[in-house]
Chains A and B, each alone.
Chain A
Amino acid sequence: MGATHLPATEFDGTGVDDQLEAEAEAVLGEPAAPMVQLLGPDGTLGEDSVFSEYANRLDAEKLRGFYADMAAIRRFDQEATALQRQGQLALWVPLTGQEAAQIGSGRASQPQDYIFPTYREHGVALTRNVDLAELLRQFRGVSNGGWNPKDTNFHLYTLVLAAQTLHAVGYAMGIQRDQQLAAASDPAGTEPPAAVIAYYGDGASSEGDVHESMVFASSYKAPVVFFCQNNHWAISVPSTVQTRIPLSNRAKGYGFPGIRVDGNDVIAVHAVTEWALDHARQGNGPVLIEAFTYRVGAHTTADDPTKYRKSAEEDAWRAKDPLARLEKYLRAKGLADDAFFAKVKADGDELAAYVRRTTHDLETPDIRSAFANTYVEPHPLVAEELAWFEQYSAGFEDAAGSEAAAGEAAN
C-alpha cells in the first residue's frame, strides 16, 4: 500500500503530536506510520500511488457536495450548541474540527452498508439521511434513540465506549452468513455485498471491547472497517495516555491493514474509506483507519478545555481546518464560485432554522411507552406496575376533578 509520509514538521504546533512521533519511533525502532494526505492545508492536491485513483473518481459535483455537507454539519453543530445554551438541550456533543473525517467516511459508505456510530458522529448521520432534528431527541431527553436504524442503516448512538465495536463485528458476521445463505439460493449474486463501519475514538481505543472486536473480526475475516477518529483528547486526557504509537499500528498486531489518514482531508478520508470498504466487501477481512483529526471545541457543552490544553494548540489545528482547505481547492480549480458558497451558507441557515423550530416541537413521550418497550413479549411484572401507575395517576385526576368541582361550587 502506498502512502505519503508527511514530514514531521507538518504537525508542528501540537506538542502532543511531536511527542507521539518521537515516542513511536523510539518504541518501534522505525518512523511512525505514514500518513495518507491528498489535500493539504494549503488547498493543493497531492499524489498517492494507491489512493489517488479513488480521488480521481470524484467529479466537481461530489467535491462540492463534500463541502456543502461539511458546512451544513458545522452550522448544525453551532445551532445545537446554541440550543443547549438556551436550555433547549440538556447536553450537546460538538463535532467541529472533525467534519472531514465524518463526511469523507460517511459518503464512502453505500446504502447496504451498516454504520455503528459512537455519539459524536452527527456528520456521518447526515450522510445516512438521518433527520438531524431526530438526532437531537437524545440530547433533549425525550428519547434514548430517536430514529429507526432500520430506515437508514445508521445505528443508535452508543454511550458506553466501544461497546458498539463488538456489535459491528457481530453484524458483519451476520452479513457473512447471509451471503452464504444467498449463495445457496441466488448463485448469480444479485444482492450487492455489504460491509460495516464501527466508529470509535482515541479514548475508546483503550477499552477492552476494541481489542476483543479486532480479535473476532480478524479470526473470522469479518467485513468491518474500524474507523478511529483520533481527535487527540478523551475529555481532558491526551491521546498519548492511550497509546505510545500511532493507533493505526495496532492493526498489524491483529493481522489486518491499518491506515493512518489526515482526518482533516476529506478527499483522503473518502479515498481510504472506499478502499477499506471494498477490501472488506470483497471478503478480505477488516481494516483499521485512524483519522488523525482534532476536536476543536469542548468534549461536551459541560466541558471546559481551558483547564487542560493551550489555545495555541487549538489555533494550530484551526490552521488545518477541513472546510478552509477544500474551499481553497474548489476556488483555485474553478469548481465553485461565490454564488455556490453563498448558497451553502443560506442552506445552512435554513437547516439551523429547521432544527431550532423542530427542537421546540419535539414531543415528550408518555412514560407508558417505556413500559411498553422494556420487553417485546408480555411481562407480568411490567403489566402489574403499569396497572398500579394507571391507578395512581387516576387518583390525581380524580383529586383535580373534585378540587375543580369544589372550586365551582364555592363560586
Chain B
Amino acid sequence: MTTMTIAKAINEGLRAALTNNPKSLLMGEDIGPLGGVYRVTDGLIAEFGPERVVDTPLAESGIIGTAIGLALRGYSPVCEIQFDGFVFPGFNQITTQLAKMHARSNGNLTVPVVIRIPYGGGIGSVEHHSESPEALFAHTAGLRIITPSNPHDAYWMIQQAVECQDPIIVFEPKRRYWLKGDVDIEAPGNAEDPFKAHVLREGTDATVVAYGPLVPVALAAANAAAEDGRSVEVIDLRSISPIDFDTVTQSVRKTGRLIVAHEAPTFGGIGGEIAARISERAFLSLEAPVIRVGGFHMPYPVAKVEEDYLPDIDRILEALDRALAY
C-alpha cells in the first residue's frame, strides 16, 4: 500500500498505461512540460517523449477528432479536456462520431479513445470551470462513463479505461484531486470491475447513492445520521454508464429508502434515471419516493454563492429526513 492523492494516482495510472501499452498516448492542452493545469500528467513527457505525450493546439474538437483518427489507425489515445465547461467544442465529435463509429461500421471498427475531464465545483473558480455535464454524455449510447472517488479507484480505473475497447469518459472530481488515500499498486482488489458500484458503508434505514466528488459528502452525512441513531447505507456508483442497478436495487430492497446525490442539476440528471429504474425494479420495497439531491436548474452560479448551490451534508440529511418521514 502506498498513500497518494487522486491526482498522483491518475498520474501513476497513466504512467503504468503508457508503459504497458505501447500504442497508448496522451493528448491535450498544456499536458507536456507543464504537466496539465492540475499537474495530472506531471513528468510524463520527460519519460515518454513528445510523440506519446502530445501538447495539442488549443482546439477540443481537434483533440477528439484526431484521437478518433489515431484510434482508427490502431492507437489508444487518452485525451485531456482541461475543464468540464470546455468539452463542448468537442461535443459534436464525441456524440456524432466517437460514440457511433463501432455501431455504424457494423462492428468492423473500434475507437478505444479515453477522454479525461476534471469536473465539478467547490474550488471557487470562474464560470465554465465547475460544471457537471455527465448526463449529457450518459444519454449517448456507445459511450461509457466512469468517475473515481478515491486514489485506489483512480489508479486502477484510468488503466482500465485505457484497456477498454469502447470509448470511455473518465470524469475526475477536481476538488478531490488532493484527497489522499491508500493505493494498492500490486492488485486492483475490489476495483477489478470499473463498472461495478461499491457499497462503502452498510446500513438499514436508507440508501444514499453518490459518485465522484459527493462520495465523501455522502459518507459524512451517513456519519452524522448515525449520531441520531439512523443507519444509512452509502453506495459509490463509480460508473455512470452503464449504471450498476443490481447493487443499488439490492440495497434498496434492504433499506426501503433511496436518496441520490450529485452536483449536476437534478432536472434530466442521473438521479432521475436511477429513481425511475429503482421504481420499476423495487417498487414494493420502497417506503418513500426516491429523493434527488442536486444542483438547481440554473447555470452554475458564481463562486461566492456556490456553497448554496452544491449539495452538502445538510442537504443530504434534509432529504433523509423527508424520506424517513413517509
Q: Chain A interface (Cβ within 8 Å of chain B)?
A: 114, 143-145, 148-150, 155-156, 158, 160, 163, 165-175, 177-178, 180-181, 208-209, 212-213, 215-216, 219, 369-370, 372-377, 379-381
Contact = CB atoms under 8 A, between A and B. Distances in A.
Given A160-B96, A216-B56, 7 more contacts: A150-B109, A156-B104, A160-B97, A174-B72, A177-B51, A178-B73, A216-B57
B15 interface: no
27 contacts: A114-B73, A144-B100, A149-B72, A163-B96, A167-B65, A168-B69, A170-B67, A170-B73, A173-B70, A173-B73, A174-B70, A174-B72, A174-B73, A178-B73, A212-B57, A212-B59, A212-B65, A215-B59, A215-B62, A374-B103, A374-B142, A376-B102, A376-B107, A376-B166, A380-B195, A380-B245, A381-B242
B21 interface: no
Contact of B106 (A177, A215, A216, A373): A373
Contacts of A372: 107
A376 B195 CA distance: 15
B70 A170 contact: yes
A150 B108 contact: yes
Interface string B173-197: 0000000000000000000000100
Contacts of A167: 65-66, 68-69, 72, 97
Contacts of B242: 379-381
Given A156-B105, A160-B92, A163-B92, A374 B141 contact: yes
Interface of B: 22, 25, 51, 56-57, 59, 61-62, 64-75, 77, 89, 92-93, 96-97, 100, 102-110, 112, 141-142, 144, 164-166, 195, 241-246
Contacts of B92: 160, 163, 209
A175 B70 CA distance: 9
Nearest to A181: B22
Interchain residue pairs A-B with the least CB separation, the first 10: A170-B69, A166-B65, A174-B73, A170-B66, A212-B62, A144-B104, A171-B69, A376-B165, A167-B69, A373-B107
A163 B65 CA distance: 7
B132 to A, nearest CB: 21
A177 B112 CA distance: 17
A122 B265 CA distance: 46
Nearest to B60: A212
Contacts of A145: 104-106, 108
Given A177-B51, A376-B166, A163 B93 contact: yes
A170 B89 CA distance: 17
A144 B110 CA distance: 15
A148 to B, nearest CB: 4
A184 to B, nearest CB: 11
A102 to B, nearest CB: 22
Of A144, A168, A172, A174, the most chain B CB neighbours within 10 A belong to: A174
B73 A373 contact: no
Contacts of B71: 170
Contacts of A149: 72, 105, 108-109
A149 to B, nearest CB: 7
Specify which of B105, B144, B164 lies most central, judged by the most chain A CB atoms within 10 Å of its CB.
B105
B114 to A, nearest CB: 14
A174 B61 contact: no
Contacts, number: 145
A377 B74 contact: no
Nearest to A158: B97
Max count, chain A CB within 10 A of own CB: residue among B65, B77, B144? B65
Given A167-B97, A374-B141, A173 B106 contact: no
Nearest to A198: B69
Count chain B CB atoms within 10 A of each CB in A172, A212, A379 and give the residue with the most.
A212
Given A166-B68, A170-B67, A171-B73, A180 B51 contact: yes
Contacts of A374: 102-103, 141-142
Contact of A375 (B102, B243, B244): B102
Contact of A166 (B69, B77, B103, B112): B69
Contacts of B77: 170
Nearest to A379: B242
B57 A219 contact: yes
B77 to A, nearest CB: 8
Contact of B103 (A168, A173, A370): A370
B141 A369 contact: no
A402 B77 CA distance: 55
A173 B100 CA distance: 22
Residue in A145, A173, A175, A374 whose Cβ sees the most chain B Cβ within 10 Å:
A173
Contacts of B243: 381
Contacts of A373: 102-103, 105-107
A106 B70 CA distance: 22
A168 B71 CA distance: 11
Given A144-B103, A145-B106, A379-B242, A166 B73 contact: no
Nearest to A208: B61
Contact of B166 (A114, A215, A377): A377
Nearest to A166: B65
B96 to A, nearest CB: 5
Contacts of B244: 380
A216 B29 CA distance: 13
A143 B106 CA distance: 8
A178 B75 CA distance: 10
Nearest to A169: B66
Contacts of B65: 163, 165-167, 169-170, 209, 212-213
A381 B92 CA distance: 24
Contacts of B57: 212, 215-216, 219
Nearest to B100: A144
A172 B75 CA distance: 12
Nearest to A370: B103
Contacts of A181: 22
A180 to B, nearest CB: 7
